[in-house]
C-alpha cells in the first residue's frame, strides 16, 4: 500500500483539501443520463443577507446525507444550490449602509439604488454559499441559481402574465399586513406572533334614541375611529331588539348600524363586537357581507390620518392614550382588564404589524389550492412525519388570497403598465413592454412602482432552477424532484406555494416527499436568538472540532419534525468517535502493511468470529438502507455508530488480536481480509454522515476506487449471512460480559488472570466455546479455559455467572489473594465498628434527639441501618474465609 494515516486525526489538515479535490474532480456534478435513474433535491435558498446558522447547518446536512447516499446507490443525484434575493432584509441592509455614507435611498433614485444593491450582492451575497461548503455540502455548484438571475426572472414574468391572463391575479383593496417602519406590505410568513401583555378596554356605545348602550371590549381602541358598525350574533336573545338599530360611535359622534352576523361569538366577552373593515381581516369579511364602508384612519407610518379629527397626526399608541382618557372623561369607559394576547410583529424589524386595507396585487387562491389538497389526499405528496398533513390541509382549506405586491425597489418589478391618459392597465413581459396604450393609443405608459413578494419567485424554485420556462432536457429528466427538506416553521408558506405552482405551471407535483425537521435549540431548550445571545456559530464549532463532528452531532438522535438540543459535550463525543474510527483504521492498516491481503477469499476459511462480524455488517447495510429510505436518518446513524464503536472496535478487533500477533496462525489471512472488508463497508455506511474522515481513511486504505463518494453503496449479500455464527458469538459475548461483571464487583484488575470453566450439558454450546477458545480466553482474562459437561472438580467457593444453557465458573482463590482479602476485610470491619459506635452514641444522646431537626435524626437512623447491613456482610465473608 505504501500510504499511511497520520498518527492523530486533524480535521483542519484534511477537510479543505478533500473538498477542493471533490470540486476539481466534478464529483458533485450531475448530467442527464437516461441509463440511470435521477434523484433530485433543490436546496431551500438561504437569503443573501444571511450567514450560516445552526438551522442552515441541520437543513443542509440532512440534504447532503440523502444526496450522498443516493449518489453511492448509483442514482444520477442532483442537488441544486442557490440563494434568495430576500427583498426586505436586503433592502434594509443596503439602506443602512447608504445611511452610514450619508446617502438617502430616495436621493439615489430607483436605478441608482438598484445598482448599489447589486454591488452589495456581489460583495456579501456569496458569504453563505462559501460557508455551506465548509460543512461538506455536495451540491452541483456549477448549477447554482439566484432568485433574481436571468432565468428565474424570466420564469417570474411568465408566471405573472399567465396567472393574470387566466384571471388568478387581480388588483384590489383588501386587508394586508403592513409594516409601518419598513413601509411595505409583508407576507404571513414574515409575521411572527408573540404573546404580549395588553388590555381589554370596555367601552359604552350609546343606542341612538334611547338611554341604553351596548358594551364592547377591544384590544385596539384607536381603531374605533374607523368603526362602520357593531355586530351581534343573530341568535343572541339579549340583542335581538337591537338588530337594525343604530349606535352612536363615541368620540366621532357618528351613527353606525347594529348588524347580525354569525362571526360573533355569543359566549366571548359581551357578545357585541365593533366592526372596523379597514383595520381587521375578519371585520373586512363582515363588512363585505353587510356592504359596510371601509374607513382607513391610519397613515403608512401608523400615525392617525386626517379622518381622525383631533387625534390626526398622533402616533397610534399616543392616540390610544388620548382616546382612552377622553372616553373616561365622557363616562364611556366601563373598565380596563389585563389581557395577554398574540400580537403580530415583523420578523425583520420587530415592529408591531398593522392590518390595513390597501390597494395591492393579489393571487386568487381558492382554485389554485384544490390540486395541492388533492396531491396529499391521493398520495402524490407525502409529509415525513405525516402529522404535518393536518397543518398543510388546514392552511390550504382556509387559505386567503395572497398579497404579492411589495412597496420596495429590490425585487422583481411588477410587469404592469398604466396608461398616463386613460389609466388602462397592460400586463406584459419586459421584452414585450408596451409603447402604446391599446385602449386610447396614448404613447406614454408608466410601470407599476411595486415589486413582487420574494415568495413569488421561490414558489417556482423546483422548476425555474431546471431551466423553465425553457423546455430543457434537465427539466424533462430531473423534474419532478424527489424530496424537499425544510423546517416546520415555513411549511405553510413556501411548501404550499411550490405545490400549487408546480401543478399550475408544470401540471405535476414539484416533489414527492417533504422531510420536515425541527429547530436546533440551545442546551436549555430555548430557541437560539440574537436577543438571548444564545446562538452557536457552526463555523466556530467546525474550527474547533471539524465538520464531521458537527454533522454527526446534528443528526444523532434527530427524528423528523422534532426539535433538538445542542450540547457541546455531544460535539466532543462526536469528535471522539471520529478519533476512534481513525485509530482503529490505523491499527488495521499497520497490520495489513505486514502482509498481502487478497481482494477475494474463500468464505469457508473464515473463523466463527470473522463470520460473525461479516454477517453483522451485512445486516447493518440492509437495516441502514431501509432506515435511510424511510428518512430515519437519526436511527440509521445510531446503528452505524454502535456497530463501529462496540461490535467492530471493542469486540471484534479485541477478539482477533491473538491471531494478528501470532505469525504461525493459519487464519491470519482470513482475519486481515475480514478487517479490511468490514472497515471498508463501515466507512461507506458512515460516509454520508461524516464525509471527510471516511474519505481520507478510504483513499489511504485501498487504491481500487479513487473516492468513497463515487464508490458503491453496500448491499445485503446472502453469502455473508451467517446467522448461526452470529448466534454463537453472541453467546460468547454474554459469557464475557458476565465474567467482567463478576470481576468488577470483586475489584479484580484485568491483569489478574484466572481459570475459566464453562459447564454446559449442551454439546452445541460446548462446541461454540471450543471453537472460540483463543479469543474467549483473551476477552475473559483467562489463564486457562476448560469446557466440560458437568460440575466435576469445581471448588465449592468458585464464583459463577449464568448464561443461557451454560454456567461459567472461576476459582475464588485465583481471583483473590485470601490472606490479603482477610486483611482488607478486618480493616473494613474496624472502620464500620467506629461508624456504628458514633451513630449509636448520637442516637442514644437525649440532648441530640430532643434538639436536632427530625430530618437529621432520620438521616442518622438511615446510616445506622446501612452500616449494620455492611457489617453483617463483612462478618459473613470473614467467617467464610477463616472457616
Q: pLDDT for 270-284, tens place per residue?
A: 899 999 999 998 999
The answer as to whether 163 is a domain residue is: no
Which tops the pLDDT comparison, 283 or 533?
283
Q: Residue 787: is its pLDDT beyond 90?
A: yes
| Chain centroid to CA 745 | 43
Last residue of a domain, one of 758, 780, 815: 815
Q: What is the mean pLDDT of residues 622-630?
A: 97
- Mean pLDDT for 585-591 is 95
Both 801 and 845 in one domain: the answer is no
pLDDT of residue 649: 96
Residues 693 and 772 reside in one and the same domain: no
How confident is the model over 676-685, as a mean pLDDT? 98
Would you say residue 824 has pLDDT above 80?
no
Confidence of residue 491 (pLDDT cuts 50, 70, 90): low
Contact status, residue 819 vs residue 807, Cβ threshold 8 Å: no
Residue 1 has pLDDT above 50, yes or no: no
CATH code, 282: 3.90.740.10
* C-alpha to C-alpha distance for 315 and 301, rounded to whole angstroms: 8
Name 773's Cβ contacts closer than 8 Å, sequence gap at least 6.
Answer: 785, 787
Q: Is it the case that residue 600 has pLDDT exceeding 70? A: yes
Domain total in the chain: 5
In this prediction, what percent of the chain has a pLDDT beyond 90? Answer: 69
Asked whether residue 69 is domain-assigned, the answer is no
Residues 732 and 699 in one domain: no
Evaluate the CA torsion angle 109, 111, 114, 120 in order and state its sign. negative
pLDDT for residue 256 is more than 90: yes
DSSP string, 714-771: P---GGG--HHHHHHHHHHHHHHHHHHHHHHHTT--TT--EEEEEE-S-HHHHHHHHH
Output 210-214 pairs: Cβ under 8 A, ≥24 positions apart: 213/247, 214/239, 214/242, 214/247, 214/258, 214/270, 214/272
* pLDDT on residue 726: 92
Q: Both 330 and 420 in a single domain?
A: no
Three-state secondary structure of 271-307:
CEEEECCCCCHHHHHHHHHHCCCCCCCECCCCEECHH
Instruction: Please check whether residues 745 and 839 belong to one and the same domain.
Output: no
- Vertex 574 angle, CA 571 and 575, to 5°: 90
Domain assignment of residue 675, yes or no: yes
Pick the closest to residue 425 from 409, 403, 447, 408 (CA basis): 447
Residues 6+ apart with CB under 8 A from 716: 618, 619, 621, 622, 625
Separation of alpha carbons 354 and 369, rounded Å: 27
Q: Which of 586, 582, 564, 563 is nearest to 574 (CA)?
A: 582
309-363 residue pLDDT tens:
999 999 999 999 999 999 999 999 999 988 887 888 887 777 888 888 888 999 9
Does the pLDDT of residue 621 top 90, yes or no?
yes
Answer yes or no: is 686 within a domain.
yes
CB atoms within 10 A of CB 245: 16
Give pLDDT, residue 883: 66
The answer on pLDDT for 532 being more than 90 is no
For residues 797 and 833, membership in a common domain is answered with no
DSSP 193: E
Domain membership flag for residue 653: yes
839 and 803: one domain?
no
Kindly state the helix (H) or strand (E) to which residue 194 belongs, with its residue range.
strand 191-206
Cell 379622518 sits on residue: 307
Question: What's the pLDDT at 456?
Answer: 94
Region 188-198 average pLDDT: 79
Is it the case that residue 188 has pLDDT exceeding 80? no
Residue 318 within a domain: yes
Band (679; pLDDT cuts 50, 70, 90)? very high
Instruction: Render 819-846 in DSSP notation, one character per residue.
Output: HHHHHHHHHHHHHHHHHHHHHHHHHT-H
39 Cβ contact list (under 8 Å, min separation 6): 67, 70, 71, 75, 76, 77, 78, 482
Lowest mean pLDDT among 117-121, 444-448, 517-521: 517-521
What's 373-395 look like in SS3?
A: HHHHHCCCCEEECCCHHHHHHHH
Per-residue pLDDT tens for 423-436? 999 999 998 999 99
CA nearest to 67, candidates 14, 97, 28: 28
Cβ neighbours around 426 below 10 Å, total? 18
Going by pLDDT thresholds of 50, 70 and 90, the confidence category of residue 197 is confident
Pair (680, 623) in one structural domain:
yes
Rounded to whole angstroms, the Cα distance separating 610 from 667 reads 10
- 64's CB contacts (< 8 A; 6+ apart) are 79, 135, 136, 137, 138, 551, 688, 691
Last residue of a domain, one of 703, 721, 739: 721
DSSP state of 610: H
Query: Is the alpha carbon torsion for 173, 175, 177, 182 positive or negative?
Result: positive
Radius of gyration of the chain (CA): 37
Distance, CA of 851 to chain centre: 58
Tell me which long-range contacts 365-368 makes (C-beta under 8 A, separation of at least 24): 365/399, 365/400, 365/401, 365/402, 365/500, 366/399, 367/168, 368/168, 368/500, 368/503, 368/504
- Would you say residue 83 has pLDDT above 90? yes
Please report the pLDDT score of residue 736 as a whole number.
93
In b/e form, how buried is each residue of 548-581, taking b as 16+ CB within 10 angstroms? bbbbbbbbbebebbeebebeeebbeebbebbebb
Mean pLDDT, rounded, for 173-183: 86
Same-domain status, 290 and 232: yes
The yes-or-no verdict on residue 2 having pLDDT over 60 is: no
219 with 311, same domain? yes
Give strand pairing partners of 757.
786, 809
Mean per-residue pLDDT, 500-509: 96
pLDDT at 531: 66
| Conformation bin of residue 331: beta by default, left when phi > 0, alpha when psi is -120 to 50 | left
Q: At what angle do helices 54-72 and 608-629 cross, to 10 degrees?
A: 120
**DSSP H or E segment with residue 119:** helix 105-124
Q: For residue 844, what is the domain's CATH number? A: 1.10.287
* Cβ atoms of residues 64 and 137 within 8 Å: yes
Residue 520 confidence (pLDDT): 86
Query: Which residue intervals of 191-278 are DSSP H helices?
Result: none
254 is in an annotated binding site: no
Q: Could you tell me if residue 240 is inside a domain?
A: yes
Tell me how far CA of residue 73 lies from CA of 78, 367, 511, 514, in angstroms: 13, 40, 20, 21
Q: Which domain holds residue 792?
A: 726-815
Q: Based on the domain organization, do 320 and 206 belong to the same domain?
A: yes
Whether the CB-CB separation of 25 and 707 falls below 8 Å is answered with: yes
| CA–CA dist 868, 874 (Å, integer) | 10
Mean pLDDT for all residues in the chain: 91
Average pLDDT of the residues in 257-276: 91
pLDDT attached to residue 26: 97
All 3 cell numbers of residue 704?
Answer: 481500487
> Quick check: is 811 in a domain?
yes
Confidence (pLDDT) at 527 = 82
Mean pLDDT calculated for residue range 74-81: 98
- Do 569 and 674 belong to one domain? yes
Cell numbers given for 298: 391610519
- What CATH number does the domain containing 653 carry? 1.10.730.10
Q: Which of 815, 837, 864 is the last residue of a domain?
A: 815
In the predicted model, what is the mean pLDDT of residues 775-795? 90
Q: Is the pLDDT of residue 53 over 90?
A: no
Amino acid at each position: 500500500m505504501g500510504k499511511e494515516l497520520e498518527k492523530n486525526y486533524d480535521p483542519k489538515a484534511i477537510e479543505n483539501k478533500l473538498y477542493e479535490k471533490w470540486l476539481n474532480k466534478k464529483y458533485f456534478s450531475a448530467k442527464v443520463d437516461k441509463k440511470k435513474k435521477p434523484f433530485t433535491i433543490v436546496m431551500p435558498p438561504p437569503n443573501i443577507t444571511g450567514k450560516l446558522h445552526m438551522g442552515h447547518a441541520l437543513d443542509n446536512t440532512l440534504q447532503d446525507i440523502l444526496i450522498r447516499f443516493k449518489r453511492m446507490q448509483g442514482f444520477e443525484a442532483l442537488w441544486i444550490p442557490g440563494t434568495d434575493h430576500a427583498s426586505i432584509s436586503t433592502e434594509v441592509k443596503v439602506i443602512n449602509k447608504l445611511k452610514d455614507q450619508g446617502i438617502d435611498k430616495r436621493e439615489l433614485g430607483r436605478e441608482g439604488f438598484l445598482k448599489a444593491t447589486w454591488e452589495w450582492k456581489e460583495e456579501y451575497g456569496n458569504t453563505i454559499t462559501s460557508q455551506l461548503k465548509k460543512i461538506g455540502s455536495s451540491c452541483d455548484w456549477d448549477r447554482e441559481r439566484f432568485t433574481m438571475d436571468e432565468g428565474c426572472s424570466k420564469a417570474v414574468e411568465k408566471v405573472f402574465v399567465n396567472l393574470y391572463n387566466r384571471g388568478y391575479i387581480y388588483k384590489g383593496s383588501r386587508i394586508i399586513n403592513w409594516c409601518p417602519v419598513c413601509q411595505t406590505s409583508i407576507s404571513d410568513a414574515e409575521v411572527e406572533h408573540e404573546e404580549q401583555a395588553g388590555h381589554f378596554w370596555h367601552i359604552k356605545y350609546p343606542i341612538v334614541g334611547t338611554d341604553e348602550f351596548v358594551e364592547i371590549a377591544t384590544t385596539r381602541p384607536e381603531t374605533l375611529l374607523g368603526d362602520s358598525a357593531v355586530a351581534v350574533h343573530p341568535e343572541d336573545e339579549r340583542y335581538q331588539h337591537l338588530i337594525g338599530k343604530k349606535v352612536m360611535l363615541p368620540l366621532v359622534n357618528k351613527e353606525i348600524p347594529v348588524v347580525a352576523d354569525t362571526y360573533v361569538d355569543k359566549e366571548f366577552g359581551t357578545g357585541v363586537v365593533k366592526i372596523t373593515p379597514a383595520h381587521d381581516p375578519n371585520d373586512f369579511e363582515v363588512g363585505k357581507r353587510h356592504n359596510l364602508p371601509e374607513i382607513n384612519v391610519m397613515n403608512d407610518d401608523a400615525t392617525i390620518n386626517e379622518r381622525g379629527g383631533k387625534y390626526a397626526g398622533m402616533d397610534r399608541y399616543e392616540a390610544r392614550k388620548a382616546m382612552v382618557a377622553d372616553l373616561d372623561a365622557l363616562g364611556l369607559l366601563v373598565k380596563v382588564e389585563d389581557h395577554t394576547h398574540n400580537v403580530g410583529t415583523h420578523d425583520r424589524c420587530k415592529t408591531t404589524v398593522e392590518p390595513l386595507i390597501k390597494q395591492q396585487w393579489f393571487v386568487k387562491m381558492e382554485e389554485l389550492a384544490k390540486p395541492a389538497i388533492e396531491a396529499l389526499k391521493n398520495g402524490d405528496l407525502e409529509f415525513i412525519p405525516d402529522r404535518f398533513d393536518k397543518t398543510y390541509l388546514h392552511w390550504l382549506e382556509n387559505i386567503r388570497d395572497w398579497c404579492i405586491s411589495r412597496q420596495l425597489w429590490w425585487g422583481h418589478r411588477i410587469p404592469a403598465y398604466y396608461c398616463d391618459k386613460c389609466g388602462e392597465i397592460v400586463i406584459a413581459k419586459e421584452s414585450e413592454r408596451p409603447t402604446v396604450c391599446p385602449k386610447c393609443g396614448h404613447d406614454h405608459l408608466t410601470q407599476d412602482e411595486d415589486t413582487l413578494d420574494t415568495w413569488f419567485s421561490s414558489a417556482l424554485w423546483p422548476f425555474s432552477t431546471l431551466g423553465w420556462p425553457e423546455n430543457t432536457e434537465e427539466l424533462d429528466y430531473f423534474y419532478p424532484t424527489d424530496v424537499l427538506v425544510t423546517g416546520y416553521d415555513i411549511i405553510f408558506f413556501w411548501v404550499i406555494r411550490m405545490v400549487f405552482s408546480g401543478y399550475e405551471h408544470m401540471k405535476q407535483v414539484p416533489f414527492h416527499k417533504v422531510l420536515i425537521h425541527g429547530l436546533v435549540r440551545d442546551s436549555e431548550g430555548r430557541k437560539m436568538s440574537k436577543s438571548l445571545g444564545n446562538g452557536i456559530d457552526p463555523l466556530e464549532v467546525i474550527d474547533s472540532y471539524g465538520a464531521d463532528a458537527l454533522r454527526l452531532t446534528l443528526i444523532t438522535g434527530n427524528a423528523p419534525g422534532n426539535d433538538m438540543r445542542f450540547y457541546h459535550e455531544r460535539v466532543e463525543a462526536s469528535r471522539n468517535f471520529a478519533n476512534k474510527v481513525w485509530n482503529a483504521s490505523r491499527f488495521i492498516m499497520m497490520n495489513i502493511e505486514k502482509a498481502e491481503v487478497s481482494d477475494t477469499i474463500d468464505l469457508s476459511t473464515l473463523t466463527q468470529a470473522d463470520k460473525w462480524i461479516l454477517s453483522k455488517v451485512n445486516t447493518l447495510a440492509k437495516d441502514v438502507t431501509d432506515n435511510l429510505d424511510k428518512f430515519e436518518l437519526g436511527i440509521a446513524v445510531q446503528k452505524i455508530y454502535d456497530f463501529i464503536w462496540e461490535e467492530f472496535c471493542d469486540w471484534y478487533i479485541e477478539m482477533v488480536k491473538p491471531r494478528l500477533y501470532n505469525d504461525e496462525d493459519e487464519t491470519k489471512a482470513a482475519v486481515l481480509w475480514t478487517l479490511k472488508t468490514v472497515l471498508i463497508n463501515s466507512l461507506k455506511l458512515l460516509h454520508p454522515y461524516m464525509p471527510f474522515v471516511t474519505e481520507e481513511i478510504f483513499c489511504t486504505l485501498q487504491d481500487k476506487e479513487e473516492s468513497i463518494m463515487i464508490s458503491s453503496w453496500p448491499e445485503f449479500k446472502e453469502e455473508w449471512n451467517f446467522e448461526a455464527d452470529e448466534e454463537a458469538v453472541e453467546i460468547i459475548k454474554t459469557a464475557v460480559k458476565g465474567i467482567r461483571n463478576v470481576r468488577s464487583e470483586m475489584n479484580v484488575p484485568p491483569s489478574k488472570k484466572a481459570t475459566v470453566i464453562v459447564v454446559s450439558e449442551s454439546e452445541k454450546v460446548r462446541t461454540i466455546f471450543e471453537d472460540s477458545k483463543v479469543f474467549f480466553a483473551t476477552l475473559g482474562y483467562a489463564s486457562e479455559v476448560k469446557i466440560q459437561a458437568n460440575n466435576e472438580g469445581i471448588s465449592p467457593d468458585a464464583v459463577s455467572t449464568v448464561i443461557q444453557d451454560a454456567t461459567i465458573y472461576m476459582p475464588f482463590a485465583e481471583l483473590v489473594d485470601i490472606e490479603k482479602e482477610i486483611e482488607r476485610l478486618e480493616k473494613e470491619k474496624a472502620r464500620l465498628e467506629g461508624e456504628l459506635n458514633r451513630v449509636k452514641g448520637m442516637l442514644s444522646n437525649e440532648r441530640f434527639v430532643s434538639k436536632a431537626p427530625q430530618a437529621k435524626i432520620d438521616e442518622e437512623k438511615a446510616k445506622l441501618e446501612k452500616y449494620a447491613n455492611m457489617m453483617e456482610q463483612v462478618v459473613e465473608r470473614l467467617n467464610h474465609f477463616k472457616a
